[in-house]
Structure 1
Amino acid sequence: MAAFAIRDGHPRDGAAIAAIYAPYVEQTWVSFETEAPDAAEMGRRIAEYGQSHAWLIAERDGEILGYAYGSPHRTRAAYATSADIAVYVTSDAQRLGLGRALYTALFDRLRAKSIHAVFAGIALPNPASIALHEAMGMVPVGIYREVGWKLGDWRDVGWWQRLL
């Protein structure tokens, strides 16, 4: 596989990002959304979170392979230095180091914006995501039991944290 580049996301990336995210929404419990957002909605999210935190794209030869972003952890003022994070990669680009590279760049960007703590919610079970987050220095801090109903069953969400 040729090398990939990491760059800032742009609203024009909305269609490619929507295509990457849709299978996670429609076929898995990884995302708790029940309807996949369209290109316009993803473009809006890229603009919003790119401005407030960061939205990064992994790209090779003009093809978007994955993305990572930070978003507000909570809305109250005291949480302003905390962020939620997420990473998604196309199915054919998994296990190539994209997640680590995206998170490394994202953590640098968030640190520069004075973010102190990052949090990742992982719908369980998801051993690959847990392994990635722990490889990035995140530690488990708790589990919300049966917090969501998706694909005909109750789903737990584990939370991981890292101080930047």
Structure 2
Amino acid sequence: MSEVSLRVARLTDAAAIRQIYSYYVQNTAITCEVTVPTVEEITGRMKKTLQHYPYLVAELDGQVVGFAYIGPANPREAYQWTVETSIYVDRECRGHRIGTRLYDALEELCRRMHFVNMTAHIVYPHDDQPDHYLTLASPKFHEYYGYKLAGRFDRNVYKFDKWYDMIWMEKSIADHAQAPVAPLDFADVADDFFAK
């Protein structure tokens, strides 16, 4: 079986990322977007993220089969130690632990960058029952990795003619120090991380 490899995303990956993401936009309630972003929009998002944060892709047999990135949970300065995570895997490539590899890399990078809290904002069925557009895979994945439920918002998301809740899950990955070290930029840790 081929091995999954990770690397920093390149702007030239935007089309492949769009291909993976388009399935989730068009066929699931996992993302709150209802229109697939253009390659140009994805490229712009990647540029913005990579200014300070990791944006990773997973490759299998030379093809991009997943992507993951973090961003600020809130742009205001006092939130700077808390990030929000996003991970998407090609639906045809499940079973290769791609999501696991991407998540492990993001968490290690977050530690090296001196972040303290990782969060995930997850669409959740209002009646707690999965449906054609939304399973419970994402909250279960995050729970497996030690995330705890931090809050639930009642019917915040409307997609496919149905209301869904939004849950926030969080994980502390470092001590909540009295004087936390300022977070580093991704560029400050990327070379050492990928040299391992």
- Counterparts of 1:1-20 in structure 2, within 5 Å, are 1-20=1-20
The structure 1 segments of at least 4 consecutive aligned residues displaced by more than 3 Å after TM superposition are: none
Q: CA-to-partner distance for each residue in 1:23-52, whole Å, 9 max, x for gaps?
A: 111111110011111111112212221222
Aligned residues: 164
Question: Secondary structure of 2:32's partner?
Answer: coil
- Counterparts of 1:65-144 in structure 2, within 5 Å, are 65-125=65-125, 126-144=135-153
Match of 1:155 in 2: 164
Aligned-partner Cα distance in 2 for 1:92–1:116: 34
Q: CA-to-partner distance for each residue in 1:56-91, whole Å, 9 max, x for gaps?
A: 111012101101110110011100111110100011
Cα-Cα RMSD: 1.2
Match of 1:58 in 2: 58
Shift of 1:133: 0.9
Matched, 1:30 2:42: no
Shift of 1:103: 0.6
Task: Could you tell me which runs of 5 or more consecutive residues in structure 2 were left unpaired when the two chains were aligned.
Answer: 126-134, 174-196
Instruction: Mark the structure with the bigger radius of gyration.
Output: 2
TM-score normalised according to structure 2 size: 0.80
TM-score normalised according to structure 1 size: 0.95
Task: Could you tell me which runs of 5 or more consecutive residues in structure 1 were left unpaired when the two chains were aligned.
Answer: none
Shift of 1:95: 3.3
Structure with the higher strand share, 1 or 2: 1
Match of 2:131 in 1: none
Aligned-partner Cα distance in 2 for 1:145–1:94: 31
